[in-house]
């Protein structure tokens, strides 16, 4: 038997949700043929078989949450003719494997942090999750055992605590189940705020010079199949500023700050179920047209669900264009383990006083959320000022 294991899709993700199986036990499989869909908060990908054979036992069912390296299924080499285990036999065969995983030390980041904060070992808790995995509810229930019981009548009115999110639901309300993407986004946002002390600074950019250049070259770019957007200009200016302020293109470690040698630009893309963060690798090697084309490509692939794992890995700095939906200002949360994220507000005409005269200019609020462990205001303001200088002095040609 050949074991098919869950691959490592994203270095920052520790758990994956099994999606729909594309093959069933007994099916003959060709080498590199897709077997099952696997979901993360960022992408849905297909796991393939590296060799040909007959699909035998499926060990991971749709909806199961697994970690990289765990077994998805077993494949019989093509020259084997042994019968495929029947459903009851397969279920029986899985019992020992499940028993071994009870109270496993493989924990989600949220559970791991809760255990560490309260000095509790995972072995002290009986897990109720899949295959005995310890969940957040298990930890909370364990901690509640040692808390004094207070009757409802004894609660001080002024200090009446708000009900927890997992408490009894108001019968007039309804619960919307969390998708794997939404659950992972929620966990990442909480983890990011808990990890990095966020500070946000906001600048106003005047896009008058960019607008003039764009009006002059937009048609020529379109003739080459490239949509020239304001994001292309801002991305190019950001890349140039990252070169001048390498501390912004870094990662915090307890031993020191790692300055990234590559500039891999992440672009937040909103999709119906949440957000993707595809990466334009080696963004500093692109000119304006190249970046405009790359931005269009990652956006199309995101909306079409065609992103591959490599498209989502290795980002060193991220831009969030929340202004695409009309928002004029925002405070984006850092995409871990990066040092900062740029938020782009909607570009709109505003009245500006220039040389004591009134002018109407296309302007936008650009926010920069940064990790205060890595940089202070002098660096962050210098970084934003450099982007602003490039944007506002864009040459006509």
Catalytic residue list: 372, 376
CB 26 within 8 A of CB 76: no
The DSSP bridge partners found for residue 267 are 319
| DSSP result, 69-106 | T-EEEEEEETT--PPPPPHHHHHHHHHHHHHHTTT-S-
What does DSSP say about strands 340-344 and 357-371: parallel, antiparallel, or unpaired?
antiparallel
Distance CA 312, CA 322 (A): 19
Tokens at 143, concatenated: 């901690």
Own/partner pairs for 12-16, CB < 8 Å, 24+ apart?
12/336, 12/337, 13/40, 13/41, 13/42, 13/184, 14/67, 14/68, 14/108, 14/109, 15/65, 15/66, 15/67, 15/108, 16/40, 16/65, 16/66, 16/67, 16/68
Distance CA 173, CA 213 (A): 52
Distance CA 90, CA 80 (A): 18
CB 387 within 8 A of CB 237: yes
Distance CA 9, CA 15 (A): 10
Secondary structure element (H or E) that encloses residue 363, with its range: strand 357-371
| DSSP result, 298-317 | HHHHHHHT---GGGGS--SE
Give strand ranges (E) for 107-212.
198-206
Residue 380: Cβ within 10 Å count: 24
């Amino acid at each position: 038997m050949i074991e098919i294991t869950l691959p490592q899709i994203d270095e920052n993700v520790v758990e994956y949700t099994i999606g729909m199986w594309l093959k069933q036990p007994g099916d003959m499989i060709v080498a590199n043929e897709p077997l099952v869909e696997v979901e993360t908060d960022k992408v849905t990908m297909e796991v393939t078989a590296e060799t040909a054979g007959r699909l035998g036992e499926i060990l991971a069912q749709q909806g199961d949450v697994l970690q990289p390296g765990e077994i998805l299924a077993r494949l019989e080499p093509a020259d084997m003719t042994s019968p495929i285990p029947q459903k009851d036999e397969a279920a029986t065969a899985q019992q020992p494997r499940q028993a071994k995983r009870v109270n496993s030390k493989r924990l989600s980041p949220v559970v791991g942090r809760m255990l560490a904060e309260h000095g509790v070992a995972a072995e002290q808790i009986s897990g109720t999750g899949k295959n005995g995995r310890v969940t957040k509810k298990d930890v909370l229930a364990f901690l509640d055992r040692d808390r004094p019981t207070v009757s409802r009548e004894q609660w001080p009115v002024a200090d009446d605590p708000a009900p927890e999110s997992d408490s009894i639901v108001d019968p007039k309300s309804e619960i919307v189940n969390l998708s794997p993407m939404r659950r992972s986004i929620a966990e990442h946002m909480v983890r990011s705020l808990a990890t990095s002390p966020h500070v946000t600074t906001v600048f106003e950019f005047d896009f008058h010079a960019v607008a003039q250049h764009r009006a002059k070259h937009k048609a020529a770019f379109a003739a080459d199949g490239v949509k020239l957007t304001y994001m292309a200009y801002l991305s190019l200016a950001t890349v140039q500023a990252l070169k001048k302020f390498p501390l912004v293109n870094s990662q915090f470690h307890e031993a020191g700050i790692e300055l990234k040698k590559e500039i891999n630009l992440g672009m937040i893309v909103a999709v119906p179920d949440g957000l993707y963060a595809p990466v334009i690798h080696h963004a500093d090697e692109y000119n304006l047209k190249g970046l405009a084309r790359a931005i269009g490509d990652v956006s199309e692939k995101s909306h079409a669900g065609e992103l591959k794992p490599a498209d989502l890995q290795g980002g060193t700095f991220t831009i969030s264009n929340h202004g695409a939906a009309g928002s004029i200002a925002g405070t984006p949360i850092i995409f871990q383990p990066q040092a900062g994220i740029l938020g782009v507000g909607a570009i709109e005409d505003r009245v500006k006083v220039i040389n004591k005269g009134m002018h109407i200019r296309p302007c936008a609020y650009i926010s920069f959320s940064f990790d205060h462990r890595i940089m202070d205001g002098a660096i962050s303001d210098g970084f934003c000022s450099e982007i602003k200088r490039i944007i506002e002095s864009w040459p006509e040609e």
